[in-house]
Structure 1
Amino acid sequence: MELTTVWFALIAVLWVGYFCLEGFDFGVGMLLPVLARDDTERRVMINTVGPVWDGNEVWVLVAGGATFAAFPEWYATLFSGFYLPLLLILVALIVRGLSFEYRHKRDDATWKARWDLALVVGSVVPALLWGVAFANIAAGVPIDADKEFTGSMLTLLNPFGLLGGLVTLTLFATHGAMFVALKTDGEIRHRARALAVRTGSLAAVLASVFMVWTQARTGNAVTAAVFSAAALALVAGLAAARAGREGWAFLGTFLTIGLAVAGLFLGLFPDVMPSTTDPAFSLTTTNAASTPYTLEVMTWVAVVFTPIVLGYQAWTYWVFRKRISVRHIPTPVLAEAR
C-alpha cells in the first residue's frame, strides 16, 4: 500500500476519533441549559467532561498537523477556501475552553451564567460548522487549475452543506445526552436518557436523508454498507436508551458517528477535495501529497508516538470512569473540579 493511502486512512481515523470523542463534549455543552435545573446540576454536567475535553481536542490538532505535513496542497486549499468557517470554529473552541477554566473563578450567578452561555455557543457553533464543512468537502467545491478555492462563504451554505450541519448538530446533542446519562445518577440521568431518545429520533431522520443524498452523489457499494451500518447503530442505540441500557446506547451513537465519518472518507477517496469546476482540477492523494521521504519519516514518528497517546487517553477515561451526581458536589465550593 502506498504511503499516500496510508496517511489518508490515518487522517480519516483521526477525524473519526475527534468527532466520536469531542462530539459528546459538544453535546454536553449545548444541552447545559436544557438538562440542568440549577447550578449544582450544571456543575455535574460540566464535571462529566471536565477531565477529558482538552484531551479530546488533541485529535483535531493532530488531524490538522497531519494534513499539513502529509498533504500540503489539501491543507492550503482547505484552510484558505474555508477560512471564515474554520476561524469561527477556532474562536468558538477558544471561548468554550475559557468557559471551563473561568466559570468557577467567582461565586456570582451572573458571572457563571455568562460563562455558561459561552459554553453553549462554543459548543453549538463547531457542532454545526464541522458538518457544513465536511459535507462540502465530500460533495466537492469550486477549485480552479491552480488548486485554489474560487467560491465564497455563501457557496458553502448550500442545502447539502446545511443539512450536514444539522446532522452533526443533532447527532452530537444525542451523543452528549447519552454520555450524561452514562456518567451521572439521579434525576439528571433520567432526563438525559429521555432527551437522548427525542433528539436521536430527529437525528435519525436527518441523518438518513443526508446519507441517502451522499450515497446518490458520491457513494459506492462500500459506502452503502458503511452508511447502513451507521443507521443500524443509531437505531440500536435509541432502543438501548429506551431500555435503560446507557452503556449500549452510548456505544450506538459512538458507532453511528464513527461509521458516518468513515463513510464520507471512503466516498471521497482517492480525492481529498473534489472540484466541481472540472474533475481534472480535483485534489487527490497523489497530486496533493508531500514527498515520499516526508511521508516515510512521518510514518515512523506515528508508529512510535501514537500508542503512547492512545494509552494515556485510555488511562484518563479509566481513572474518571465512575458516575457522579449532585451528592458529589460539596456546598459551598471555592473551586469546581475540572
Structure 2
Amino acid sequence: MSLEVFWFILIGVLWAGYLILEGFDFGVGMLLAVIGRGSTKAETNDKRRLMLTTIGPFWDGNEVWLITAGGAMFAAFPAWYATMFSGFYLAMLLLLVALILRNMGFEYRYKRDSDRWRAGWDAVIIGGSVLPPLLVGVALTNLIHGVPVDRSGNFTGTFFTLLNPMSLLGGVTLVALSLVHGAFFLALKTGGEVREDARRVARQVAPVAALLAAALLVWINVHTGTVWSWAVSVVGLLCFVGALIADRRGRDGVAFGGTFLTIGAAVAAYFLAAYPDVMPSTISAAYSLTVHNAASSHLTLQIMTGAAVVFTPIMLLYTAWNYWVFRKRITTDHIAPQTDPLAKVEAGAH
C-alpha cells in the first residue's frame, strides 16, 4: 500500500469517526425540538438538561475529529484541501458559524434562570444541530457527484452548484441518520420518560431514514460504484435493520451500535466509490484530482505517518477512556436544581 492510499484511508476513518461521534450529539440537539416536554416549565427544563447532560462530556471532544480530518487533508492532500475549502467556502463558513453558535448554546443556556433565555438558546442548539450534518452531507456527496474543476484545479462553480439533487439527498439523509442515532444514544443513556420518548421518535423516523439511506447508497453506487462499495453499502443497511430489531427488543446498546456501524459503513462506501478520485471534475475527467496527483511529497507523507502511528492510538485510547468513565445511565433524579448565576453575582454585589 502506498502512503497516498494509506492517508486516503486514514482521512476516511477520521470523517467516519466525526460523523459517528458528532452524529449522536447532533441528534440529541435536534431532539430538543420534539421531546423533553413536561407538564410544567420546570419539568421541561429538567428533561432538557438531562438530554444535554448526556452529551456534555463528549461534544467538544467529538469536534476534534473534524479539525483532525481537515488538518490531515491539508497536510496529506494540499491540492484537494485547497480546491475543496475554497470552492465550498460559503458552505464551510455556514458550518463553522452553526457549530460556534451551537457551542455557545451549550455554555450560555445555564447562565440565567429564565424560561425565555433558555428557550432562545434551545432554538440556537436545535438549529446548530440540524445545519452541520446537512452541510457536511451535501459537501461529501459532491465529492462523489463531481464539481466543476478546471485544468488548474480551481473550482469554477458557485454555492448553488453544490445544491444538486444527489448532494441534497446526501445532506437530508445524514440529518435523518443523525436523528435516529441520537435517539438511540438517549435511549441508552437515560431512563424514564426521556428514554421512552427517544425510542418512540426513533421508531417514527427510522423507516424514513432507512429509505433515504437506501436510495442514496444505490444512487452513489450506480453513479460510480465498485464491488466493494456495493458490499459495504449492503452491510450498512443490514446494520440499520439490525438496530431497529434490537430497539424493538429493548436492547439499547445493540441498537446504538447498529446506527454506529451504519454511518461508518456509509462513509466507507463513499470513499470506496470515489477512489482513486478525491474530487472528480464535471468539466473533464482529465482535470479530476486524484489520490496521486493531489498528494504531498513522499517525505511529507513519511513524516506524517510517523506522527500518526504515535498519536492516533493515544487519541483513540483517551476517547475510549472518556466514554467508559461516563458510561452510566442517568435520569432527572441526577439533575441538581438549577441556580441563577446572575442572581448570585447581584447578591454578592449587595
Both structures adopt the same fold (TM-score exceeding 0.5): yes
Match of 1:165 in 2: 171
Q: How many residues matched?
A: 335
Listed one character per residue, the Cα deviations across residues 159-212 of structure 1 (whole Å, up to 9, x for unaligned) are 111111110010000000000000000011011012111111110011111111
One-letter identity of the residue aligned with 1:169: V
Listed one character per residue, the Cα deviations across residues 2-21 of structure 1 (whole Å, up to 9, x for unaligned) are 10011001000000100000
Structure 1 residue 32 corresponds to structure 2 residue 32: yes
Indicate the SS of the match to 1:35.
coil
Match of 1:67 in 2: 73
Match of 2:23 in 1: 23
One-letter identity of the residue aligned with 1:3: L
2:58 alignment partner, one of 49, 52, 58: 52
TM-superposed deviation, 1:47: 0.3
Q: Which ranges in structure 2 are unaligned for 5 or more consecutive residues?
A: 38-43, 342-350
Aligned counterparts of 1:332 and 1:153: Cα–Cα separation in 2: 43
Aligned counterparts of 1:306 and 1:210: Cα–Cα separation in 2: 31
1:233 alignment partner, one of 221, 235, 239: 239
Structure 1 residue 103 corresponds to structure 2 residue 109: yes
Listed one character per residue, the Cα deviations across residues 26-67 of structure 1 (whole Å, up to 9, x for unaligned) are 000011121111110000000000000000111010000000
Match of 2:345 in 1: none
One-letter identity of the residue aligned with 1:69: A
Runs of 4+ in 1 over 6 A off after TM superposition: none
Listed one character per residue, the Cα deviations across residues 66-107 of structure 1 (whole Å, up to 9, x for unaligned) are 000000000000001111111100100001111111111111
Aligned counterparts of 1:64 and 1:125: Cα–Cα separation in 2: 18
Larger Rg belongs to: 2
2:268 alignment partner, one of 255, 262, 266: 262
Aligned counterparts of 1:28 and 1:80: Cα–Cα separation in 2: 31
Structure 1 residue 214 corresponds to structure 2 residue 220: yes
Is 1:144–1:277's contact at 8 Å kept on the other side of the alignment? yes
Structure 1 residue 78 corresponds to structure 2 residue 91: no
Indicate the SS of the match to 1:295.
helix
Structure 1 residue 314 corresponds to structure 2 residue 302: no
One-letter identity of the residue aligned with 1:57: E
Aligned counterparts of 2:57 and 2:200: Cα–Cα separation in 1: 25
Is 1:194–1:242's contact at 8 Å kept on the other side of the alignment? no
TM-superposed deviation, 1:332: 4.1
TM-superposed deviation, 1:138: 1.2
Match of 2:47 in 1: 41
Indicate the SS of the match to 2:132.
helix
Q: Which ranges in structure 1 are unaligned for 5 or more consecutive residues?
A: none
Task: Report 1:234-313 matches (<5 A).
Answer: 234-313=240-319
Distance verdict in 2 for CA 1:249–1:291, change over 3 Å = same
What RMSD over aligned residues (CA atoms) do the two structures have, in Å? 0.9
TM value normalised by structure 2: 0.94
